[in-house]
Amino acid sequence: MTEQQSDTPENELEELATSALDGRASTRDVQKLETLLIDSEKHRRTYLDRVGFEDSLERAIRAGSLGSSPIVEAAEDDQLADGHRTIRSGRRVSGRMLQAALFSTVLIALVCVVLSSRRSSDQKYLTPESGLLVTDVPVVGVAVVVSQADVLWDSPIVLSGAVLPRGKHHVQSGVMHLELFSGVQLVIEGETEFTIDSPMAVKLNKGTVRAYVPDAAHGFQVVTAAGEIIDYGTEFSVHVDGGITDFTVLEGEIGLLRAEEPELRFSQGESLRVRQAVVQPEKLEVPVRVASSFAVARAVQDKISSREEAWGVALQEWLRDDRLVACYRCSGNSQSRTLDNLARGTSQASTAAVVGAAVCANRWGHAGQAYDYTRYGSRARVAMPDEMDNLSMVCWVRINSLSNLFNSLFLTDGHDEGKPHWQIQKDGRIFFSVKHPHRKGTSWRQTVFYSPDIWRDEMSGEWNMLAVTYDRRRGEVAHYLNGKQVSMEAIPEHATVPLVHIGSASIANWADPMYRTDEEFTCRNLNGAIDEFLIFDGALTANDVARLYAESSVGE
């Protein structure tokens, strides 16, 4: 950048982009450019066009289309080790140019992520009171919550796998692993208040953070009241308490920048305390210790293992429930193509024959202990009692996408009177119906009980528990997501049936389509995986479903 400041954002963008692509951009220039790109879609498009032009020009030079002969010499290994290539025309591809190319790659990734985030603006928040998805929170993401153990968020709660927006965040306890879109990894431990300004800058107002910074993100900053910590590679930890900042360089080198003071550099093994009102840093006798990302992963896995063990105990009680007709679960035997029915009641269903599906990891992370039904034609075939008084179905499902018009969870063969269909529509609503007879004076159309739209793209690849209850005696149908009731609807009198009939049926597909023959309508296979599937001859209460979820979920 020249000393004379640009008079418009467009001119500033041009100058910043030029210096970045030439490898002359300072850390502050990089941050200014990031801010311009994040705040304006027009600027992002302009920058991508500029990078595309530079890339096309470079390709033309390398291909020789701008001259009469090839101009790039084959470089020997020792030349590459020196960090440059020599070109016949005398042009030199220096380390600075390579740095510019790397910088451009990182910024392009940032731009693409921001564009993607703008197209899908719903964030995966849970409110502490309801546990239900909140879908009206606009988000421009800058980080992903990789994992967390015993984290207590200041409202709203954020789930593992969620994208964090820019802005202020506060956790009251626990340990969490974040990945910024720049590639920086942060471990946040204990009560911490922080603000994500960009993928390259975080303000730490209170608490403890450990940062691992890859080569592509050198220049990343942690800003505190006492000064700015600038990374030059590759790992450091920071603790902030009011106007006091303690830091330890775990590996590589960092810089400390304070107002009207020259930058100070510190290297591996050094620990210092910086006071807001004191110029000279003090040597810190005890280094700042923060858990590593590997330690966070171990803590999370230990918690998952503990919950899995507890579910194994709780499941035994459910298996003794007289209402339980089927509990389908993969045995983990790679040679078996069946789902064991673990139910112990007197009115049991058959084992399930798996067709076409591929083995995958279950929700506890164990490989080969669930089935993925994405492959066309995949399903699990079952034979159920032909007559049931009421009906409840519960399944743990991991949906990749709702690629079909209808995506089967459980469909009886055909659609005769008394037979239930449970599936998810492409628009994200859960569809449940029990075929009822046409009664004089009523519409010929079947009564369908829809849930609200429960699907968000951010849920792709995650395990969720779905449930539906059909209470014929009380005349009610209820849908549930992760233990919470999302809808309750009365069964109209004309839609009542004397009994529920199942017989032969398919999990994750439809074996005997009716009404239409086109593929859009008949293709029902679920693009995703199913872990456990429970079927009850009885209507579970809302408390039953909530307890089942609490006992069987992996948890945060």
pLDDT tens-digit profile of 279-293?
788 999 899 999 988
Predicted pLDDT at 28? 65
Lowest mean per-residue pLDDT among 111-115, 246-250, 519-523: 111-115
CA-based torsion, 496, 500, 502, 503: positive or negative: negative
pLDDT at 481 over 90: yes
pLDDT at 140 over 70: no
Predicted pLDDT at 335? 73
pLDDT at 459 over 80: yes
Q: Beta-strand (E) ranges in 242-334?
A: 244-257, 264-267, 271-275, 282-283, 324-330
Percentage of the chain with pLDDT > 90?
46
Reported confidence tier of residue 95, pLDDT bands at 50, 70, 90: very low
Predicted pLDDT at 416? 77
pLDDT, tens only, 62-71? 455 444 333 3
Average pLDDT value over all residues in the chain: 79
* Mean pLDDT on 360-369: 93
> Cβ atoms within 10 A of the Cβ of 259, count?
6
CA-based torsion, 209, 212, 217, 219: positive or negative: positive
Report the alpha-carbon distance of residue 59 to residue 62 in Å, rounded. Answer: 5
Reported confidence tier of residue 184, pLDDT bands at 50, 70, 90: very high
Q: Beta-strand (E) ranges in 338-417?
A: 338-341, 352-355, 358-360, 370-372, 379-383, 391-399, 406-412
Reported confidence tier of residue 124, pLDDT bands at 50, 70, 90: very low
Q: Render the burial of 361-386: b for 16+ CB within 10 Å, e for the rest.
A: bbbbeeeebbbbbbeeebbbbbebbe
pLDDT at 461 over 90: no
- With 0-12 CB in 10 A as exposed, 13-18 as middle and 19+ as buried, what is 114? buried
What lies within 8 Å, CB to CB, of 449 at 6+ separation is 431, 432, 433, 477, 479, 487, 489, 491
Instruction: Report how far Cα 264 is from the mean position of its chain's Cα atoms.
Output: 39
Predicted pLDDT at 336? 80
Predicted pLDDT at 437? 79
What are the residue ranges of helices labelled H in 124-167? none
- 326 within 8 A of 339, measured Cβ to Cβ: no
* Mean pLDDT on 438-461: 80
pLDDT at 371 over 80: yes
* Mean pLDDT on 255-278: 90
Residue type, 219: G
Lowest mean per-residue pLDDT among 11-15, 131-135, 142-146, 400-404: 131-135
pLDDT at 397 over 80: yes
Residue 269 in tokens: 């093994």
Return the higher-pLDDT residue of 525 and 357: 357
Percentage of the chain with pLDDT > 70?
72
Q: At what angle do helices 27-39 and 9-21 cross, to 10 degrees?
A: 130
pLDDT at 110 over 80: no
- With 0-12 CB in 10 A as exposed, 13-18 as middle and 19+ as buried, what is 443? exposed
Predicted pLDDT at 76? 34
**What domains can you pick out in the chain, each with its CATH number?**
9-119 (no CATH), 125-291 (2.60.120.1440), 311-552 (2.60.120.200)
> Cβ atoms within 10 A of the Cβ of 320, count?
11
pLDDT at 504 over 80: yes
Return the higher-pLDDT residue of 154 and 91: 154
Residue 186 in tokens: 């942060």
> Cβ atoms within 10 A of the Cβ of 442, count?
14
pLDDT at 125 over 90: no
- pTM of model > 0.85: no
Q: What stretch of H or E contains 454?
A: none
- Per-range mean pLDDT, top range of 219-233, 324-338, 375-389, 427-441: 219-233
Lowest mean per-residue pLDDT among 174-178, 318-322, 495-499: 495-499
pLDDT at 97 over 50: no
- 105 within 8 A of 128, measured Cβ to Cβ: no
* Mean pLDDT on 194-213: 95
What lies within 8 Å, CB to CB, of 214 at 6+ separation is 183, 184, 234
* Mean pLDDT on 321-325: 94
* Mean pLDDT on 185-210: 95
Return the higher-pLDDT residue of 92 and 247: 247
Phi first, then psi, for residue 30 (nearest 5°) are -60, -45
Report the alpha-carbon distance of residue 389 to residue 533 in Å, rounded. Answer: 19
Instruction: Report how far Cα 104 is from the mean position of its chain's Cα atoms.
Output: 26
Predicted pLDDT at 435? 87
Return the higher-pLDDT residue of 106 and 359: 359
pLDDT, tens only, 160-174? 888 899 999 999 999
Predicted pLDDT at 93? 39
Predicted pLDDT at 96? 44
Lowest mean per-residue pLDDT among 125-129, 313-317, 380-384, 435-439: 125-129
What are the residue ranges of helices labelled H in 375-433? none
Predicted pLDDT at 131? 39
Predicted pLDDT at 376? 86
Q: Within 13 Å, how many C-alpha atoms sit on residue 424's CB side?
A: 30
Reported confidence tier of residue 202, pLDDT bands at 50, 70, 90: very high
Residue 436 in tokens: 């009822």
Q: Within 13 Å, how many C-alpha atoms sit on residue 554's CB side?
A: 23
In residues, how long is the chain? Answer: 556
Residue type, 411: L
Query: CA torsion angle for 274, 278, 282, 287 (degrees, to 10)?
Result: -20
Predicted pLDDT at 4? 42
* Mean pLDDT on 9-26: 70
Predicted pLDDT at 276? 86
